[in-house]
Chain A
Amino acid sequence: MNQRAMITVSVRWKLLFLCLFLLNGCSSSTVDNYPDRPITIICPWSVGGATDRTSRQLGVYLEQELGVPVNVINATGGRGVTGHSRGLNARPDGYTLAIITGELNMLHWQNLTKLTHRDAVPIVSLVDGAAAVFVKTDSPFQNMQELQDYVKTHPGKLTATGTASGGIWHLALAGWLDFSELNAEDIKWIPMNGAGPSLQELASGGVDLVCCSLPEAKTLYESGQVRCLGVMAEEPLAEFPEVPTFISQDMNWSISGWNGLALPAGTPEPIVEKVSAVVNKITDGDVRLNGQSFPEAMREAGLSTRYRAGDEFSAFLKSNDETLGKLLTSDAFAKMSTRDTGPLVFPGMIAFAMCVILGCLAVQKKVHALAPEVTGDAVTRQGIINTILVLTGIVFYLLFAEELGFILTAGVVLFLLLWKFGTRLWVCALITVLFVPGIYTLFALLLRVPLPRGVLGW
């Protein structure tokens, strides 16, 4: 729930909740019978990508092992800020699991969030995808050395993409340039929102290079439309043994993007232990679904996994944070992140256009030409009261749904609105009794939307 809105809930209401809570005997959220309701996994990246695939694959195995529905929610955008915030700031009751990715160790260095890996209880790391450099098949570059030589003699000529400016793959390429004693801006970085669109841009001739992980480019790579010049891994990848590493091309540079499962900081120890035990069983391959174990499924999807459990994952997070911090705060990178097209250029253009249009409308005196449909119906006093009731109803729902649960809150709102709009009391009651549990069954149980359950557990 919105934190700010929560604060406004008065003490009196809090006492009421407390009473309800005590009446209910705290049955809904004890640690012992965890889990007794659906679990949500927050994935910070969009549907179809490597992180999403990992989340959903894991979700299915977790669902089988824990015996409750496991939903994946893609809270995308803000370069991962949104998803990480939602996952790690969730109520630490074990019903919200967070998928964390390399960006967690980057965003706070770039002052985009205060969130760090210390806000997470790491469970297990899952995917470890090393960065790789791709060119179109008809490109003259055959290996990294040729590319490096060309950039040295023609700085600023080549364009590359793979993710947003300052994203993990941008960092990987900039790091390599820095390692080759070149300037980070010697290859122009075109910001794109993900590997998919970047690869398409490469194939259509819009950019010269793409830097992303190998599995993300699997389709185009295997169909021979792009060539991989090298992968920034310490050893050749098991799934792609033919691709040379940077190290084998005499460039001692490796970096990878990773993802893993975590719980919000403050989750009770027994729940952490239970989740860890189940997840470790899944990553060990002891759980089979349709005759396939989780590691097998991941391997077939072309995702390179690296399972680090508990403390090992913590240690990795810490060292990864330091490495990325060093890179992000280095001069080479800081200089590069300034862009010519400022963030307010586009909104400025829109605002200017708006002013021009409003000016034209004012000149034409058309601003106040009311819609005939609206003017046709007169606003009445009862109408204003009804509208205020609707507004109050929504706000009431927003403030109390999390505490009271969907059925109670929605029931109260629906009943009062129907009644105030002039429906007979028994009709109101009938509709409320039919519809609210109906909507709940449909959405929460069948469509698996995580509707608020509240103190009563429904």
Chain B
Amino acid sequence: MESTFITALQNIVSPEVLLVIFLSAVYGLFVGSIPGLTATMAVALLIPLTFYLDNLSAIAAIVTLEACSIFAGDIPTTLVRIPGTPSSAAYTDDAYSLTRRGLHETSLGVSLVFSVAGGLFGALVLILAAPQLAKIAFEFTTYEYFWLYVLGLSCAAIVSTGSRLKGALALMIGLMFATVGLSEVHSVPRFTFGFDELFTGINFVPAMIGLFGLSEVFRNTLTSKTEEETEKLKSALPVEVDKSWFKHLKPVFGGVLPQLWKRKFSWFRSSCIGSTIGMIPGAGADIAAWISYAVSKKCSKTPEEYGKGSLDAVGDATSANNSALAGAWIPALVLGIPGDSVTAIVIGVLLMKNITPGPGIFENPDQLVLVHGIYLTFIIANLLLIPLGFLAIRSGAQLVRIPRRILMPLILMFCVVGSYSINGSYFDVWVMLGMGILGFILEVFAIPLGPVVLGIILGGQLEQSFVQNLSKDDSILSFFNRPISAALGIFCIALWLVPLIMPLLRKKWSTPA
């Protein structure tokens, strides 16, 4: 144990590995901060290169890339209201509202520090609990999954700003889109209108780019106030443009560490939620962010601020999405079952490198060195994120100073290229265009966009587990026949019913008195 750890440390501090880590951090920050380029895509694009790297460098590159790109996703989220990665979608409104008040540096500072803190917590969970905790996730059958998806979706609808009904409507729109295509469980194509491309269904990445990115472009071009908006932002920004970088440490980090100390319990709670959700196969950083956002709002003393620029919301959700990353590696390493889409790729890379993930990986000394290397990289990557993330924030802040008449065509360009890149398909660009128009219309009716995206992401899996459960046993009671599924199911139902029943109960209690 001791010796493998030291070997891993020796291997990792070699100049080559450190260079790989540094370059992947820069690459991760870059990809993450461009709207429409996801962490998954960044990792997928890295695969051909991992062939030329040794095992440890390859894995280190992926870990670093993941951690940095998930944080970097917060930069465009905060500055231009376009989530850089799906994991940032939960707190888009909060982060952007802060920018409108000129607090973008504070918001990004909170994102950075809480991301690092959450990431380190996730790494600790991975190190301490990997084999034990994976056993729990291994108990999950289609029944538990069904309730888990319902839970994730309910949270998205409930926490979204505006009325709960509109959140639910947005969710249904997303779920409806998810039914397009040939479902894995039926052999019938649905709503494809003869397009072969629609057999795959609506890809959520172009959908997200359209809903958040393109609709934002439309909002800006339709009103002539775009220039005024820029002016307003500019005037809200600190006036003096100081050339000394050191002085800028203050707006970014000033007050953030006390904030972290003040919110240590909620940080702990969010990080726990993050790593737990991360561990569950199929539920990644994005769902972790949504759920911890919902819990954070429930526990908050100022829930009315959520969605209108709450630093607490940004901090909690961003700790959760970063701690989920390490969590997802637990089932991947222990069981060979991916926790999220990135670890799905990782398993492929490991197998290509002739390392078979599984309990054996913790016994074979050569492979244990690699496992320790993964632990160490998670820590190094998160520490490296502090200076590099700061630089990214500083350069990203220039984004808001660019006039909108120049920024919008450029964002449009990235929307088109980004939606094309994920699959190299023109059809996805059409999807992005359609979703952009839809997103704009929904915003006019004040219908939140987040649940639409989550509906598209999880709808297929929700339907699958639903149909799978029914094909095992068509009685509704079977949805509650296992202890974990019963607990999850009752919790989900309570989540929707309690707010409906509460007013009635209150009336009943108050009338006799």
Contacts and interface: CB of A to CB of B under 8 A. Distances in A.
Co-assembled chains A and B:
yes
B11 interface: no
B47 A378 contact: no
B86 interface: no
Given A159-B472, A354-B172, A112 B189 contact: yes
Interface of A: 1-2, 5, 40, 46-49, 52-53, 56-57, 59-60, 63, 69-79, 81-82, 85-86, 89, 110, 112-113, 159, 164-166, 188-193, 196-197, 199-201, 203-207, 218-220, 222-223, 289, 297, 300-302, 337, 339-344, 346-347, 350-351, 353-354, 357-358, 360-361, 364, 366-371, 373-374, 377-380, 382-384, 386-387, 389-391, 393-395, 397-398, 401-402, 410, 413-414, 417-418, 421-423, 427, 431, 435-436, 439, 443, 447-451
A53 B353 CA distance: 11
Given A206-B141, A431-B406, A77 B337 contact: no
Contacts of B44: 47, 74
Contacts of A300: 354
Given A368-B445, A377-B223, A390-B217, A354 B413 contact: no
Interface string B337-359: 11001001101100110101111
Interface string B169-188: 10011011001011111111
B221 A390 contact: yes
Contact of A190 (B188, B190, B196, B468): B468
A422 B405 contact: yes
B335 interface: yes
B224 A47 contact: no
Interface string B199-243: 111000000000000000111011111000000000000000000
Nearest to B415: A394
A401 B443 CA distance: 31
B417 A443 contact: yes
25 contacts: A2-B427, A48-B338, A48-B345, A53-B351, A56-B352, A71-B48, A79-B184, A112-B189, A190-B142, A206-B472, A222-B356, A297-B352, A340-B474, A342-B186, A343-B190, A351-B176, A360-B165, A377-B222, A377-B225, A380-B222, A390-B218, A413-B413, A427-B406, A439-B413, A448-B45
A79 B166 CA distance: 34
B417 A449 contact: yes
A204 B148 CA distance: 16
Interface of B: 44-45, 47-48, 51, 138-143, 163, 165-166, 168-169, 172-173, 175-176, 179, 181-191, 196-197, 199-201, 217-219, 221-225, 281-282, 335-338, 341, 344-345, 347-348, 351-352, 354, 356-360, 403, 405-406, 408-410, 412-414, 416-417, 420-421, 423-427, 429-430, 433, 443-446, 463-464, 466-468, 470-472, 474
Nearest to B360: A223
Contacts of A191: 184-186, 464, 467-468, 471
B182 A48 contact: no
B187 A386 contact: no
Contacts of A113: 196
Nearest to A421: B405
Provide the main secondary structure of the chain B interface: helix
B141 A201 contact: yes
A393 B412 contact: yes
A112 B186 contact: no
A151 B219 CA distance: 62
7 shortest A-B CB distances, which residue pairs? A78-B199, A206-B141, A77-B200, A377-B223, A219-B336, A48-B348, A191-B185
Contacts of A218: 356
Contacts of B357: 219
Contacts of B186: 165, 191, 339, 342-343
Most chain B CB atoms below 10 A, which of A207, A361, A389: A361
Contacts of A417: 408-409, 412
B364 to A, nearest CB: 12
Nearest to A364: B165
B199 A398 contact: no
Contacts of B424: 40, 71, 73, 449-450
Nearest to A49: B348
